[in-house]
A = this chain, B = another copy of it.
């Protein structure tokens, strides 16, 4: 049955950057994120479709990585219920007071059992809707945050936490080859799209990427042209292409310090309560890129380290429990 936490959606993510000006050039001047607010050490960004304060925070830091990622919860009661659950699990938690993160109400920050810095918040300040201010559209026509993709040693265990405890639903999943397949990756959702969070087997805890929805596949082609001519050739790591999983068009980008985002568009609406998860095999050549293109090795090897809410340092990494990895990687020669 539907859990009572009322988690709404993937809400926002904090990227650590070592040069806020360079980051602004990339995210604002080139990709076209909208600046809601900024101070010496933060830029709060939103998409054209967003009606709330931010979905991406850039924070000046000594190293790249992820400060935290956050889910929106419908009610204050939901936050408290999540706190109770987290404490019962023995997780480190603390309250982030209203306004401490600009535009945001009181929020619960935790370090979950996998080592991820996850925040839950309910209130966020409303802002002007830019959706029909087409005269201000720039670059990639970024609409909104869509999802987080995280990499961790034990995807099956995280699946349990998100699905059984937090009430996420599974839309698609990937299993290892062989007669006794293991869960290798899963796409889970609270809002009615393909996913709010994807869990992938790998060295972790790390965040593989944050996915942002763009207007349409034409926008993805346009942003590829733009990046290629604006000096960001190295930023384009993979794509454009169509995913098998999710059916979306994609382009993966590395920002100037190596943080990774996905520009993403064209998945489906998953409103039906009896949704049967789509199953994929790990080595299906169309799973990751429906057109069969190989994937750069860096895309599998690299991910963003995460800062521990408890220690303030980057979380210690562990090797994956399952050794299997796709066989369709490529390398330059």
Q: 1/0 per position for A259-277, CB-CB distance to B under 8 A?
A: 0000000101101111110
Give the residue name and chain of the B residue nearest to A221 (CB): B217
- Closest Cβ of chain B: how far from A172's Cβ, in Å? 11
Given A191-B192, A247-B132, A286-B233; A228-B271 close (CB under 8 Å): no
Instruction: Collect the chain B residues with CB atoms within 8 Å of residue A103's CB.
Output: none
Docked complex Cα distance between A151 and B259 (Å):
42
Docked complex Cα distance between A276 and B52 (Å):
11
Residues of chain A in range 189-222 having any CB-CB distance to chain B below 8 Å: 191-193, 213, 215-218, 221-222
- Closest Cβ of chain B: how far from A254's Cβ, in Å? 12
Give the residue name and chain of the B residue nearest to A328 (CB): B332
Instruction: Collect the chain B residues with CB atoms within 8 Å of residue A268's CB.
Output: 49, 131, 143
**A-B residue pairs in contact (CB < 8 Å), sample of 9:** A126-B276, A131-B247, A134-B228, A135-B230, A227-B291, A229-B290, A236-B293, A294-B330, A330-B330
Residues of chain A in range 124-140 having any CB-CB distance to chain B below 8 Å: 126, 129, 131-135, 137
Is the beta-carbon distance between B229 and A133 smaller than 8 angstroms? Answer: yes
A244 located at the interface, meaning its Cβ lies under 8 Å from any Cβ of chain B in the complex: yes
Is the beta-carbon distance between A8 and B330 smaller than 8 angstroms? Answer: no
Is the beta-carbon distance between A269 and B191 smaller than 8 angstroms? Answer: yes
Q: 1/0 per position for A154-194, CB-CB distance to B under 8 A?
A: 00000000000000000000000000000000000001110
A285 located at the interface, meaning its Cβ lies under 8 Å from any Cβ of chain B in the complex: yes
Given A135-B226, A276-B51; A330-B332 close (CB under 8 Å): yes
Q: 1/0 per position for A3-44, CB-CB distance to B under 8 A?
A: 000101100000000000000000000100000000000000
Which of B215, B222, B286 is the one whose CB lies under 8 Å from A228?
B286
A329 located at the interface, meaning its Cβ lies under 8 Å from any Cβ of chain B in the complex: yes
A224 located at the interface, meaning its Cβ lies under 8 Å from any Cβ of chain B in the complex: yes
A72 located at the interface, meaning its Cβ lies under 8 Å from any Cβ of chain B in the complex: yes
Give the residue name and chain of the B residue nearest to A196 (CB): B271
Which of B51, B135, B247, B272 is the one whose CB lies under 8 Å from A52?
B272
What is the total number of residues of chain A having a CB less than 8 Å from a CB of chain B?
Answer: 69
Instruction: Collect the chain B residues with CB atoms within 8 Å of residue A329's CB.
Output: 332-333
Docked complex Cα distance between A113 and B197 (Å):
43
Which of B132, B228, B291 is the one whose CB lies under 8 Å from A224?
B291
Instruction: Collect the chain B residues with CB atoms within 8 Å of residue A285's CB.
Output: 233
Which of B126, B135, B216, B247 is the one whose CB lies under 8 Å from A266?
B216
Instruction: Collect the chain B residues with CB atoms within 8 Å of residue A126's CB.
Output: 274, 276
Q: Please name 5 further chain A to chain B contacts, defined as beta carbons within 8 Å, in addition to the given A74-B273, A144-B269, sorted by A numbering.
A: A126-B274, A134-B229, A134-B230, A221-B249, A294-B332
Q: 1/0 per position for A288-308, CB-CB distance to B under 8 A?
A: 001111100100000000000
A331 located at the interface, meaning its Cβ lies under 8 Å from any Cβ of chain B in the complex: yes
Docked complex Cα distance between A42 and B235 (Å):
41
Give the residue name and chain of the B residue nearest to A251 (CB): B291
Is the beta-carbon distance between A193 and B290 smaller than 8 angstroms? Answer: no
Instruction: Collect the chain B residues with CB atoms within 8 Å of residue A275's CB.
Output: 51
A240 located at the interface, meaning its Cβ lies under 8 Å from any Cβ of chain B in the complex: yes
Q: Identify the 10 closest CB pairs spanning chains A and B, nearest first.
A: A135-B230, A134-B225, A191-B271, A134-B229, A74-B273, A192-B192, A233-B292, A218-B218, A331-B333, A224-B291
